[in-house]
Amino acid sequence: MRQGALWSLLVAAATAHAGGPPEVAPGAAFGPGETTTWAVSYLGVVAGTAKVTVGLPMSVEDEWVWPVLCEAQSAPYAAVWPVSDRFVTYWSPALGKSVGFDFFADENRKRRREKARFHGRSADMTRQKDGSAPWDVSFEVPDDVLDLAATALKARTVPLSVGQQRAFQVFTGKKTFTLEAEVEAKETIATGLGPRDVYRVSATTDFSGALKAKKRVLLYFTADARQVPVRVEADLALGTLVADAVQYHPGRGS
């Protein structure tokens, strides 16, 4: 599906629910219109870009949600393993969690699609690979389960403080694991957006294969009301990955 068609679907669906969408709370950490562009480096070399956009309100599973589109694109010279992925998590401001996600993956010229919707303690999925017939599968999950993108959003909704520890139940599409996070320090670092006061947060993950982390992943959130993630550092089995925010535009209400 082309990017334009995807956005048309998201915008058109915004009118499909009875009543109007809720107003963005004043001082909210994020809201529709927020965009963050990232430079992603692999082994010290810029290998691609990513962009996260909070979209217009729409209805999914009878809930008003903000579709949060995460796009990843490998650099033209990274032809050994080209990547063009789109992940959409459907964030419900009222529930403080995602109601599901859609994943459109194009990696090394192989395509697949995953659709997940969270219904209580069930994650109901539809999968499809390289034009084959789709198939359905369900997983038992906790009531407060999140996808990985929604976990970053959830972390922004509670003020951070040094020493704070939190645990999130994360569904990967294949399993659920507990992501444990700790706010290690408040410091000033150089970022792609200039010097920023940030909270340094370390987190555990439970991925396997090339994405298996050798140690805790480090995330840096701005030390202000928006708590914008501005850097991610991960030492993985496939090598060291660093993502730096290089452009940021706040959304409505934030």
pTM of the shown model: 0.86
- Confidence class for position 4, pLDDT limits 50, 70, 90: very low
Domain layout of the chain by residue ranges:
3-249
Bigger pLDDT: 252 vs 6: 252
pLDDT more than 90, % of the chain: 67
Give just the sign of the alpha carbon dihedral 180, 159, 51, 219: negative
pLDDT tens figures, 97-109 = 999 999 998 887 7
23 DSSP β-pair partners: none
Helices of type H across the chain: 3-13, 148-156
112 DSSP β-pair partners: 105, 129
- Which H or E element spans position 192? none
> What is the per-residue DSSP string for 87-128?
EEEEEETTTTEEEEEEEEEEETTEEEEEEEEEETTEEEEEEE
pLDDT tens figures, 228-242 = 999 999 988 878 889
Is residue 12 classed as helix, strand or coil in its secondary structure?
helix
pLDDT tens figures, 142-161 = 999 999 999 999 999 999 99
Is residue 96 classed as helix, strand or coil in its secondary structure?
coil
